[in-house]
Each structure stands twice: as C-alpha cells, then as structure tokens.
C-alpha cells in the first residue's frame, strides 16, 4: 500500500502541488514547543520531500525512520513540521518525535552537570600537572563566582588556567551529546518498536521541571514514517534510522539564535560558547560520517 502511494507521488513529482501550511499543522511532540513557520524554509522542506519520497520508494520498506539533525537555529523544528505536514497531506502517515524529550536530566540540572564536570575535571588536571596550590584555589574561587573560569581571556592573566580549561573541555567532550547526557537506549527502543510494526507505543514527555515527566500512548497503526528531530539524531548511537538529514549551520548562527530565543540568561557566556564549539565539532563529524542528505542554510543540497 505504502509503496503504491510512493510510486504515484514519484511519478507526479514534477507537477506536484504542495498543500499550503495551516495553523493547526503538527509541530512535533515536545511539551510547550511553539513553531513559527518561516516562508524561507518552505522551499527547503519541499526539496527534502521530493528527495525522501524518491529514496523511500527506491528502498521499498514498509516503515521508515528519518532523522533531522543540526545545531540550534538550523531550522530543524520548522523543517520537520513542514515535512511532516507535506507527507501527511500526500497520504503518507507521518509522526514527528522531538529528541528533546530524551535527555537524562531537565535543562536546569543538565546545565549544572555540565559546569560540575568542567570544574571537577579541570581541578583534577591541575593536580595531575602539579599546577595546583592554595593560591590557585583562591583565584579559582573568585573566577567561579564571576563564572569566568572558562574564559580564555582569563588564562592570559593566569597561565595555569590553560591546564584547567584544557582538562575541563576534554571531559565535556565525553559528556555532551553522549550516553551520559542523552538516553539513547530509550529512543532506540521507540524506533525499534516502530520499525517492527508495534501499533501503540508509550512516548516520553519531558518539560523543564523535575516533576514534568510522563508518557503518552500514541497510536502508530496508521503511521508509515517517523521523523526524529533532534540535535543528536545524527549520532552513531541512534539506531534504526533509514535516512539521516543534516541541516548545516554555523556556530555563530547557533549562538545568535540562542540569544534571540533567550533560552537562558547566559547564552553569550564563555562557557556556553565553549559548549557550542564542542557540539559543533561533533555535529560536523556526524554530518560527514552519517548524513545521507546535507542541506545548507541557503537551501543548496550538498549531499543526496
């Protein structure tokens, strides 16, 4: 049935008429998320629709998992919403999953864990390199209060701080976007259940407070495509993905977007800048190694 529908769409792609996005179109399953449709991203989503319909038809399966990944501000949420809408309107049952439901900690606690890892491993680094002293600790305590211990400018004044920052940064690489931070096992269970045809699956919901955790039972009996929208869905730790789509963006765009969204009051801090740099390094590697389709910010298809 699905292959017949895909065949019909593929044969009509040159003259395909896209439905106009509506106000009540699906926007993923992240609690409280609001998506403002950007006219600039509509042609991008339409390009992806054409590419993915062809790829699904050529592969010939019954169920498909598509991952959409990229940095903050790359257009993941809007593009996923549009793509989900176009597929559903074309008669291909599609559901969008937000990977932001699957971290191990709420944002507040996760931010604190990141800082804790950076500082504790930075201190261990100073001990290991025999650069620690009571004087160093006094200076560090002052930097902690100002939250500037990750600022490279401070290391110009205190050369030993380079050791601290280097060890702390390396420890963060082992945490950010990895299994210690994200519950890949649980999202993989969802993807595996969908691929084997389970009609009902309990889907995790997670808000921004510790008591905002629950599960909704979702009916997938009429769903052919599941789209996983997530910064980390390009990770090799995510299994059962048929097609991985990377929306390419630059670190400065991510930072500008976070400032615009005001996701936290420290979006322009040295620590957040360092986190974004590490995340971008991982995104770039995952894009090169794992992406089946790469879409540039200007709409160019860099890989298909």
- Domain match, 196 and 258 both: yes
Return the minimum-mean-pLDDT range out of 30-34, 48-52, 205-209: 30-34
Contacts of 270-273 with C-beta under 8 Å, sequence gap 24+, read: 270/148, 270/150, 270/151, 270/152, 270/153, 271/114, 271/115, 271/118, 271/147, 271/150
- Give me the torsion for CA of 156, 158, 160, 161, rounded to 10°: -70
Into how many domains does the chain fold?
2
3-state secondary structure of 274: helix
Indicate whether 179 belongs to any domain: no
Residue in this structure with the two tokens 């490279």, named with its chain if needed: 152
Indicate whether 191 belongs to any domain: yes
- Domain match, 16 and 134 both: no
- Domain match, 82 and 117 both: no
- Domain match, 76 and 189 both: yes
- Domain match, 274 and 227 both: yes
Give the per-residue pLDDT at 187. Answer: 98
Helices and strands (DSSP H and E) totals, the chain: 10, 8
- Domain match, 166 and 274 both: no
Strands 200-206 vs 213-219: parallel, antiparallel or unpaired: antiparallel
Indicate whether 211 belongs to any domain: no
Angle at 170 between CA 167 and CA 173, to 5 degrees: 155
Indicate whether 117 belongs to any domain: yes
- Phi, psi dihedrals of residue 204, rounded to the nearest 5°: -75, 145
* Non-local CB neighbours of 258 within 8 Å, separated by 6+ positions: 72, 73, 264, 267, 272, 276
- Domain match, 270 and 289 both: yes
Q: How confident is the model at residue 22 (pLDDT cuts 50, 70, 90)?
A: confident
| CATH number of the domain encompassing residue 272 | 3.40.50.300
Average pLDDT over residues 260-284: 82
- Domain match, 118 and 55 both: no
- Domain match, 96 and 231 both: yes
Please answer whether residues 149 and 119 qualify as being in contact, where contact means their C-beta atoms are separated by less than 8 angstroms: yes
Residue in this structure with the two tokens 């599609």, named with its chain if needed: 94
Question: Per-residue pLDDT tens for 141-185?
Answer: 999 999 999 999 999 999 999 999 999 999 999 999 999 999 999
- Domain match, 57 and 118 both: no
Residue 268 has pLDDT above 70, yes or no: yes
Task: List, as one string, the DSSP characters of 165-222.
Answer: HHHHHHHHHTTTTSTTTB-HHHHHHHHHHHHTT-SEEEEEEE-SSTT-EEEEEEE-TT
DSSP code at position 240: S
- The residue count for the chain: 304
Indicate whether 89 belongs to any domain: yes
Longest dimension (CA), the chain: 73
- Domain match, 30 and 111 both: no
Give the per-residue pLDDT at 27. Answer: 76
Q: HSE (CB half, 13 Å, CA atoms) of 229?
A: 26
Indicate whether 268 belongs to any domain: yes
Instruction: Find the domain containing 248 and state its range.
Output: 2-102+184-206+216-303
Question: Per-residue pLDDT tens for 52-90?
Answer: 999 999 999 999 999 999 998 899 999 999 999 999 999
- Domain match, 224 and 290 both: yes
Q: How confident is the model at residue 258 (pLDDT cuts 50, 70, 90)?
A: low
Does this model's pTM top 0.85?
A: yes
Residue in this structure with the two tokens 């991982």, named with its chain if needed: 282
* Non-local CB neighbours of 126 within 8 Å, separated by 6+ positions: 132, 136, 160, 163, 164, 167
The total of other beta-carbon atoms located within 10 Å of residue 16's CB is 15
């Amino acid at each position: 049935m699905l292959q017949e529908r895909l065949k019909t769409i593929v044969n009509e792609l040159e003259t395909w008429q896209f439905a106009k996005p509506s106000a009540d179109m699906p926007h993923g399953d992240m609690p409280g998320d609001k998506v403002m449709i950007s006219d600039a991203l509509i042609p991008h989503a339409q390009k992806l629709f054409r590419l993915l319909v062809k790829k699904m038809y050529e592969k010939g399966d019954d169920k498909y998992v598509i991952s959409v990944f990229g940095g903050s501000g790359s257009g993941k949420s809007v593009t996923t919403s549009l793509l989900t809408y176009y597929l559903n309107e074309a008669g291909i049952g599609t559901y969008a999953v937000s990977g932001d439901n699957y971290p191990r900690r709420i944002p507040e606690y996760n931010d604190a864990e990141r800082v804790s890892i950076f500082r504790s491993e930075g201190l261990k680094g100073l001990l290991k390199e025999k650069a620690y002293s009571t004087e160093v600790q006094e200076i560090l305590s002052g930097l902690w209060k100002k939250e500037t211990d990750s600022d490279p400018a401070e290391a110009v004044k205190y050369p030993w701080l380079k050791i601290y920052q280097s060890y702390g940064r390396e420890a963060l690489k082992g945490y950010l976007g990895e299994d210690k931070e994200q519950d890949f096992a649980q999202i993989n269970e969802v993807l595996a259940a969908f691929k084997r045809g389970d009609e009902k699956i309990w889907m995790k919901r997670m808000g921004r407070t510790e008591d905002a955790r629950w599960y909704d039972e979702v009916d997938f009996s009429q769903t052919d495509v599941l789209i996983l929208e997530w910064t980390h869905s390009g990770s090799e730790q995510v299994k059962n993905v048929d097609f991985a789509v990377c929306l390419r963006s630059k670190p400065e765009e991510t930072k500008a977007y976070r400032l615009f969204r005001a996701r936290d009051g420290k979006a322009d801090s040295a620590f957040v800048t360092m986190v974004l740099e590490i995340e971008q390094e991982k995104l770039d590697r995952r894009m090169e190694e794992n992406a089946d389709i790469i879409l540039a910010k200007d709409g160019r298809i860099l890989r298909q």
